[in-house]
C-alpha cells in the first residue's frame, strides 16, 4: 500500500517580492507555511535597523516574545544585551531575528505554563524563506549565529555549535558571501550549572564578533 507524500511545509508563497522590511513583517503576520502559527499568539518577526552591520539570529521566540510580538525581549534577550554591550557591540545597532518566527511550546493544561519546545528541522526549513529575505534586505557585514537551530538553518544540518563557536566562518548563503560567528544561544547560559562560566564564554565569542566588525 502506498503512503501519501508528506505535506510540504514552506513559507515561500507568503513572502512578497520586492517588499521592504515593514512589508515583510506585515506579510509574515499572515504566514501559514507550517503548523506553528496555530497555537502561537502571533508572528515574531526580526527587529532593528535595516542597515545594521550585524545580524543576530536565534532559534525561535520564547513565551515573552510571543506575547509582546518582539524578538529577544525575555530573560535570554536581556542577558544577550548585557553580553553584547560587554563585548563592545551596541545591542541597539544590531538587527535581531530568529530562524523560526512562531513560538513552539508544550502545555500540560490550558492555564499552565507554556514550555519551550525546539522546532523540528522541517519547521526550521519551512521558515527559511523569511530569514533569507531578511538577509537579502539587511545585507549585514556579520551574522552572529546563536545556537544549534540557527546554525542548522544557515549552515546545514551537520552544524555543531561546540565545534565552531567563537570562530569567524566564511560561507555562501542564499547566493551571498557571508561571514558568521557562531556561539551558544543565551537561553543555554540561563540553564547552565556554571552560569557565570557559560556567560563568560558567550562574551568571549561575542568579542570575536566585535573584532571581526572593527
Ligand atoms: S513558523 Fe515560520 S513558516 Fe511556520 S507559520 Fe510561522 S512564519 Fe510561517
pLDDT (0 to 100) of residue 6? 63
Q: Is the pTM of this model over 0.85?
A: yes
Please tell me the predicted confidence (pLDDT) of residue 212: 98
How far is residue 121 CA from its own chain's centroid? 13
> Degrees (nearest 5) of the Cα angle 208, 186, 177?
45
**pLDDT of 5:** 54
For residues 21 and 134, the answer to whether their CB atoms sit within 8 Å is yes
Phi, psi of 169 (to 5 degrees): -100, 150
- The answer to whether the CB of 11 is under 6 A from ligand 1 is yes
pLDDT value of residue 143: 98
Number of the ligand 1 atom closest to the C-alpha atom of 9? 3
Ligand 1 centroid vs 126 CA: distance in angstroms? Answer: 7
CA distance linking residue 174 with residue 176, whole number of Å: 6
Q: What are phi and psi of 58, to 5 degrees?
A: -100, -160
Q: How far apart are CA 43 and CA 101, in angstroms?
A: 6
Residue ranges, the chain, pLDDT below 50: 1-4
The grid coordinates of residue 31 equal: 504566514
Centroid of ligand 1 to alpha carbon of 33 (angstroms): 5
Ligand 1 pocket test, candidate residues 24, 36, 103, 134, most atoms within 8 A of CB: 36
Amino acid at each position: 500500500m502506498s503512503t501519501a507524500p508528506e505535506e510540504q511545509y514552506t513559507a515561500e508563497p507568503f513572502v512578497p517580492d520586492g517588499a521592504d522590511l515593514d512589508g515583510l513583517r506585515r506579510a509574515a503576520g499572515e504566514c501559514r507555511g507550517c503548523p506553528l502559527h496555530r497555537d502561537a499568539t502571533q508572528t515574531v518577526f526580526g527587529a532593528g535597523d535595516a542597515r545594521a552591520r550585524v545580524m543576530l539570529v536565534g532559534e525561535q521566540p520564547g513565551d515573552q516574545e510571543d506575547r509582546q510580538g518582539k524578538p529577544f525581549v525575555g530573560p535570554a534577550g536581556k542577558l544577550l544585551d548585557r553580553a553584547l554591550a560587554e563585548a563592545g557591540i551596541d545591542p541597539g545597532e544590531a538587527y535581531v531575528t530568529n530562524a523560526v518566527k512562531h513560538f513552539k511550546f508544550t502545555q500540560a493544561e490550558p492555564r499552565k505554563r507554556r514550555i519551550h519546545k525546539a522546532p523540528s528541522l522541517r519547521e526550521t526549513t519551512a521558515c527559511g524563506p523569511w530569514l533569507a529575505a531578511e538577509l537579502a534586505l539587511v545585507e549585514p557585514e556579520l551574522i552572529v549565529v546563536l545556537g544549534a537551530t540557527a546554525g542548522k538553518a544557515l549552515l546545514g544540518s551537520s552544524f555543531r555549535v561546540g565545534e565552531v563557536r567563537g570562530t569567524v566562518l566564511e560561507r555562501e548563503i542564499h547566493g551571498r558571501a557571508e561571514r558568521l560567528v557562531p556561539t551558544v544561544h543565551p537561553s543555554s547560559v540561563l540553564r547552565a550549572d556554571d552560569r557565570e562560566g557559560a556567560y563568560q564564554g558567550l562574551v568571549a565569542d561575542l568579542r570575536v564578533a566585535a573584532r571581526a566588525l572593527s
